Amino acid sequence: MRRFILAAAALAGLLTPLAPVAVTASGLTNREILMHCSGCDMAGMDLHGQDLSGIRFEGTNLRGANLEGANLRSAIFEGTNLDDSDMRRADLRDARFEGTSLRGTRFDGAQLDGAVFEGVNLSKGVLNGLSDGVARSMLNRCEGCNLSNVSLAGHDLRGVRLEGANMRDIDLHGANLEGAQLEGVNLDDAHLQSTNFHNAELLGSNLRNSDARNANFQNAVVCSDDTTTINDHGARSVITGKTDCLGLEGTDLHGANFTGARHCVWLGNGTAPRCKPATAQMLQEYGHANLSGAIGL
């Protein structure tokens, strides 16, 4: 495709009509143009109802774009600016969002089955007003996401995967995070009153200076050991190292329930983790926890 078509002035003229089957004077449809639109500035563009399935948006500026009801199934958004865009009722099944900013984007009624969000910014009310099901779909595979200052209070978020997410100052009071994968998550200064972390994995996460009064940590994995795997001519051995626990320095744990909280070590090779009860000494020594008022240990 001829690159000169993608010059900013020409692109604005070509995409203005935005009929689903519009053909430009150059004989190219909007879809064909967008398929070769790397790094384009499409801020505020009206693309509602368009068939944009499978298109790769790389470094594209779609800030404030209208994508309501668009077919974006299996589309890839890499390094894209989608701040304040409208994706209501869009088909986003199996779409991928990588390193993309979604601050203020609307997802009401969107189909998100199989969508993957990695390293995206979901702050500025993106999740406000969404049903638990839609919120879970967005967060189910949201590794490294920015959720700082977001409110998810009372949401049912069972089983979500948020490894490495920035959740500083998030409001999760009364939320259900049973079985959630929360390894390496930053929950500093978070509002976690009565949050349910039952069976969640919290390895390498920090809850420093958070309010976790009456939070439920029953059966949660709160401590682990560093491991090193050595393969010597087919002979495999695992060396267990330093213990690491959930960071709880300055956290208010009055009424928090640690009954059955676990210390688990993953030995790899597809084997089940080796677990034992976590102890108050572990959490105090390695997690710097003040367990005054906590129960179950």
Residue 108 lies in a domain: yes
DSSP state of 157: -
- Mark whether 154 and 277 lie in a shared domain: yes
Residue 11 lies in a domain: no
Place of tokens 């929360």: 182
How many structural domains does the chain have?
2
- Mark whether 152 and 270 lie in a shared domain: yes
Boundaries of domain holding 111: 39-142
- Mark whether 151 and 87 lie in a shared domain: no
Residue 15 lies in a domain: no
Q: What is the Cα–Cα distance from 277 to 123, expressed in whole angstroms?
A: 36
pLDDT at 16 (0 to 100): 41
Q: Which domain-ending residue is among 107, 142, 177?
A: 142
- Mark whether 124 and 253 lie in a shared domain: no
CATH number at residue 178: 2.160.20.80
- Mark whether 183 and 271 lie in a shared domain: yes
E strand or H helix at 221: strand 221-232
- Mark whether 278 and 169 lie in a shared domain: yes
Tokens of 65: 């774009």
Q: What is the pTM of this model?
A: 0.77
Paired sense of beta strands 56-58 and 76-78, if any: parallel
- Mark whether 237 and 118 lie in a shared domain: no
Q: Which residues contact 216 (CB under 8 A, 6 or more apart)?
A: 194, 195, 196, 197, 198, 256, 257
Residues 191-248 have pLDDT tens digits of 999 999 999 999 999 999 999 999 999 999 999 987 655 566 665 555 556 889 999 9
Q: What is the Cα–Cα distance from 78 to 60, expressed in whole angstroms?
A: 8
Q: Which domain-ending residue is among 98, 113, 142?
A: 142
- Mark whether 101 and 178 lie in a shared domain: no
Residue 196 lies in a domain: yes
Question: 150 to each of 83, 124, 246, how far by Cα in Å?
Answer: 15, 7, 22
Beta bridge partners, 66, equal 46, 86
Tokens of 216: 């439920």
- Mark whether 152 and 222 lie in a shared domain: yes
Sites in the chain below the pLDDT cut of 50: 1-27
Q: Which domain-ending residue is among 142, 158, 183?
A: 142
pLDDT at 23 (0 to 100): 36
- Mark whether 54 and 169 lie in a shared domain: no
